[in-house]
Amino acid sequence: MEIPYKIYLEESELPTQWYNVRADMKNKPAPLLNPANGEPAGLDMLSAVFCRELAEQELDNDTAYIDIPEEIQSFYKMYRPSPLVRAYCLEKALGTPAKIYYKFEGNNTSGSHKLNSAIAQAFYAKKQGLKGVTTETGAGQWGTALSMACAYFGLDCKVYMVKVSYEQKPFRREVMRTYGANVTPSPSETTEVGRKILAEFPGTTGSLGCAISEAVEVALHTEGYRYVLGSVLNQVLLHQSVIGLESMAACDKYDIKPDIIIGCAGGGSNLGGLISPFMGRKLRGEADYRFIAVEPASCPSLTRGKFAYDFCDTGKVCPLAKMYTLGSGFIPSPNHAGGLRYHGMSSIISQLYDDGLMEARSCEQTSVFDAAQQFARIEGILPAPESSHAIRVAIDEAMRCKETGEEKTILFGLTGTGYFDMVAYQKYNDGEMTDYIPTDEDIAKSLAALPDVR
């Protein structure tokens, strides 16, 4: 069958349920723990922080398919299905016998896959009768997606934006404000944890872990508010499974059988979402695939971190998660421009990786931007630096096929566009981008502060 450049599904073929890969995992991801007593965090504790139904999804290790509420399906239809693209032009330019496909999630105003979970989280907050939600944002994609989702459901949205991004990415900030969000640079004077961090480190430009602490504090102390998070959590991977389900339906429709499935990994949500249904088939023994997580060499949680319980935030107010981590105090080198800077990794991805069901690889940022530039010039899309980690490894694998003559089928997740990352591209274009790989001592230092559990 002739395979079109772009494979779209009909509306009637869109997923009506999310897929929860935990249901098929023999070794379930470890539970979140209450930092006060080391006991598993139950529904009561989690629903003080998160919306009730989202807390239930967080804890649900058994239900394989969960209905996507009608309201969310309608919103999805405004920008989904996302195209599955056959990279004919890239294949030709590389001269590879490999077949390359990518699932492009950048075709919405927020510019990334994060909207898939933002709209779900806003829906459950609205359904619960809440007034609003709080969150943090680093590069700004999550804050933008959540602002759009909250505007749609008429919810208030308070975003704590890492100060350095707030100052360097004024346009991201303005998109959020256009959608009605209230954006505060973090650390700020508006929270106790923010004031404490400012007193201890005056002039700090902030971090993701610190912004999380501020957002959680505000949610816990404001009537009618809950905290929402754009990655890492089980519930987020569940919502993002829409990426994998659409990809799988499109592949099945055209009898495409991927051999290698690749995704960039920050907190693990797009990767988890893309691979979940395929991993389900692998776990059930129905098919086999190679899965590759790609992370920056400057923030290598899977390839150089430790699988242990750790804090999710700097202020240590969140439950503890068992994950591959570099330690909650780990901050990537200031020259790192490519995103994916969270110190930990989704518990689901961590467990699958620890069980040997998937691989991980790290890439230096100059080689990631080489791939980004090559891709932009050949396939036309200006990719986000995060997404370009997956492009790097997809190209590497395609070049390996060229050497061996193997006709492998490669599928990768192209998570978003890079329009707001032009400062990073500028550095690259000016030849000023450098690589920094943390030393073993750097990593040992932040790992020394892991909490003492189990």
Ligand X SMILES: *Cc1c(COP(=O)(O)O)cnc(C)c1O
Instruction: Say whether residue 247 binds ligand X (CB under 6 A).
Output: no
CB of 186 to ligand X, least distance (A): 17
Instruction: Say whether residue 267 binds ligand X (CB under 6 A).
Output: yes
Instruction: Choose between 183 and 340: whose C-beta lies nearer to ligand X.
Output: 340
Residues in the interface with ligand X (CB under 6 A) total 18
Report d(CA 302, CA 299) in Å as an integer: 9
Applying CB under 6 A, among 266, 315, 332, 344 the residue interacting with ligand X is: 266
Residue nearest to ligand X (CB): 416
- For the chain, the straight-line distance linking the first and the last C-alpha, in angstroms and rounded, comes to 54
| 3 state SS of 453 | coil
Instruction: Say whether residue 269 binds ligand X (CB under 6 A).
Output: yes
User: CB under 6 A: which stretch of 3-11, 364-372, 382-390, 446-454 binds ligand X?
Assistant: 382-390
Please tell me the number of Cα atoms within 13 Å of 29 on its side-chain side.
33
Considering only residues 159 to 218 of the shown chain, the ones binding ligand X according to CB under 6 A are none
User: Is cis: bond before 187, omega within 30 of 0?
Assistant: yes
Helices (H), 103-233: 115-127, 141-153, 163-168, 170-178, 192-200, 208-221
CB of 404 to ligand X, least distance (A): 30
Instruction: Say whether residue 141 binds ligand X (CB under 6 A).
Output: yes
Instruction: Say whether residue 82 binds ligand X (CB under 6 A).
Output: no
Applying CB under 6 A, among 57, 96, 112, 147 the residue interacting with ligand X is: 112
* CA dihedral (144, 145, 151, 154) positive or negative: negative
Report d(CA 386, CA 203) in Å as an integer: 27
Instruction: Say whether residue 117 binds ligand X (CB under 6 A).
Output: no
Report d(CA 398, CA 410) in Å as an integer: 8
- Phi then psi for residue 85, to 5 deg, are -105, 130
CB of 255 to ligand X, least distance (A): 28
Write the DSSP assignment of 406-429 as a string of letters.
---EEEEEE-BB-TT-HHHHHHHH
Instruction: Say whether residue 390 binds ligand X (CB under 6 A).
Output: no
Instruction: Say whether residue 114 binds ligand X (CB under 6 A).
Output: yes
Which of 331, 324, 291 is CA-nearest to residue 308? Answer: 324
Record the tokens describing residue 340, joined without a space: 């994916």
CB of 202 to ligand X, least distance (A): 29
CB of 265 to ligand X, least distance (A): 5
Applying CB under 6 A, among 340, 360, 398, 411 the residue interacting with ligand X is: 340
Neighbours of 359 (CB within 10 A): 16
Tokens 């709080």, residue located? 134
Instruction: Say whether residue 116 binds ligand X (CB under 6 A).
Output: no
Applying CB under 6 A, among 415, 428, 443, 447 the residue interacting with ligand X is: 415
Tokens 């943090």, residue located? 136
Which of 414, 416, 408 is CA-nearest to residue 392? Answer: 414
Instruction: Choose between 276 and 387: whose C-beta lies nearer to ligand X.
Output: 387
Instruction: Say whether residue 268 binds ligand X (CB under 6 A).
Output: yes
Sequence letter at residue 227: Y
User: Is cis: bond before 81, omega within 30 of 0?
Assistant: yes
Instruction: Say whether residue 279 binds ligand X (CB under 6 A).
Output: no
Applying CB under 6 A, among 231, 241, 298, 350 the residue interacting with ligand X is: 231
User: CB under 6 A: which stretch of 70-78, 211-219, 266-274, 438-446 binds ligand X?
Assistant: 266-274
Instruction: Say whether residue 315 binds ligand X (CB under 6 A).
Output: no
User: CB under 6 A: which stretch of 129-137, 157-165, 248-256, 381-389 binds ligand X?
Assistant: 381-389
Which positions lie near ligand X, rule CB under 6 A? 112, 114, 141, 231, 264-271, 340, 384, 386-387, 415-416
